[in-house]
Amino acid sequence: MEEISLNNLPKHIAVIMDGNGRWAKSRGALRIFGHQNGIKAVRETVEACAELGVGYLTLYTFSTENWGRPQVEVDGIMDLLVKTIGDEVPRLHKNNVQMKCIGDMDALPATARKNMEKGIETTKNNTGLVLNIALSYSGKWDIIQAVRKTASAVKSGEMSEEAIDEEQFSHYLSTYPAPDVDMLIRTGGDHRISNYLLWQSAYAELLFLDVLWPDFRKSHLLEAIKTFQTRDRRFGKTHD
Ligand code: FPP
């Protein structure tokens, strides 16, 4: 913790929590056992970000493509979500965390959606860490919904075509008002972005870790932030 410079923290951390299935399989258990064991990693990550003073944490919890998994796994993840949100909201609230949901909420089963809405409502005035839970989310989905909102604002005359620029467009993305992602962590050993925050990660520092998500602990996050702080971020420019 002492080796981390608090004035160079990533403002927005995004995480692809991968490896739950393999973690369970290596123990001869069903995939859902891996997801259940991923909750401790979620809790540690949220707590560490809140303690450090990170502004925004966006967790890839369920992608648009994940609907194509076997129904028993989809149902298992949705049940886990309902239970976890129910259990965790009081603790989040106590820690001044504001919970939000990004993604196609309409695609969720009613109980999961209602639970999320309750958590969002309870924590809406909190001023600490903003926790974005990406659910039924994909980067392409996000861009398309922002394009639709932009088109409708132009059509209604609320905005002129000339006013469309990067700043304006970003206001329609589901992550608004979060700034672009500074650091994107993917656990589980694969090296890809998997349709996550495509627009928002334009200049994110990418960290691919071999650790499987259920084994991810606060120490991994702190190590990742240390690595982030050694990166030379030029945003396409030079230092000369
Ligand atoms: C990817 O591992 C993980 C998921 C699709 C689900 C992650 C969900 C949780 C950890 C629950 C989080 C809950 C809250 C409240 C944020 P995988 O199944 O693709 O693993 P594999 O690559 O080893 O198969």
Q: What is the pLDDT of residues 25-38, one digit of tens each?
A: 999 999 999 999 99
pTM of the model: 0.96
Quote the ligand 1 centre to 20 CA distance (angstroms): 5
Please report, for the chain, the start and end positions of each structural domain, with discontinuous segments joined by +: 14-36+53-143+175-228
Superfamily of 14-36+53-143+175-228 according to CATH: Decaprenyl diphosphate synthase-like (3.40.1180.10)
Given a contact cutoff of 8 angstroms between Cβ atoms, the answer to whether 189 and 198 are in contact is no
Q: At what angle do helices 71-94 and 31-52 cross, to 10 degrees?
A: 20
Q: Closest ligand 1 atom to the C-alpha of 212?
A: 23
Query: CB of 81 closer than 6 A to ligand 1?
Result: yes
Give exposure, 98-118, as e/b (b: 16+ Cβ within 10 Å).
bbbbbbbbeebeeebbebbee
Q: Which of 15, 18, 49, 196 to mutate to test the pocket of ligand 1 (most atoms within 8 A of CB)?
A: 18
CA–CA distance, 106 with 39 (Å, rounded to integer): 24
Quote the ligand 1 centre to 156 CA distance (angstroms): 40
Question: E-strand spans in the chain?
Answer: 12-16, 56-63, 98-102, 130-137, 183-186, 205-208
Q: Which of 8, 66, 79, 165 is catalytic?
A: 66
Q: Closest ligand 1 atom to the C-alpha of 85?
A: 15
What confidence tier does 2 reach under pLDDT thresholds 50, 70, 90? confident
Residue nearest to atom 24 of ligand 1 (CA): 21
Q: Please report, in angstroms and rounded to a whole number, the separation of the first and last CA atoms in the chain.
A: 32
Report percent pLDDT > 70 for the chain.
100
Q: Is pLDDT of 240 > 80?
A: no
Q: What is the pLDDT of residues 62-102, one digit of tens each?
A: 999 999 999 999 999 999 998 999 899 999 999 999 999 99
The answer to whether 18 is a known catalytic residue is: yes
Quote the ligand 1 centre to 32 CA distance (angstroms): 9
* Over residues 111-139, mean pLDDT: 96
Q: Closest ligand 1 atom to the C-alpha of 38?
A: 10
Query: CB of 43 closer than 6 A to ligand 1?
Result: no
Look-up of token digits 């860490």: 129
Quote the ligand 1 centre to 36 CA distance (angstroms): 9
Query: CB of 201 closer than 6 A to ligand 1?
Result: no
What confidence tier does 233 reach under pLDDT thresholds 50, 70, 90? confident
pLDDT at 188: 98
Quote the ligand 1 centre to 186 CA distance (angstroms): 11
Q: Closest ligand 1 atom to the C-alpha of 62?
A: 5
Residue nearest to atom 7 of ligand 1 (CA): 61
The answer to whether 215 is a known catalytic residue is: no
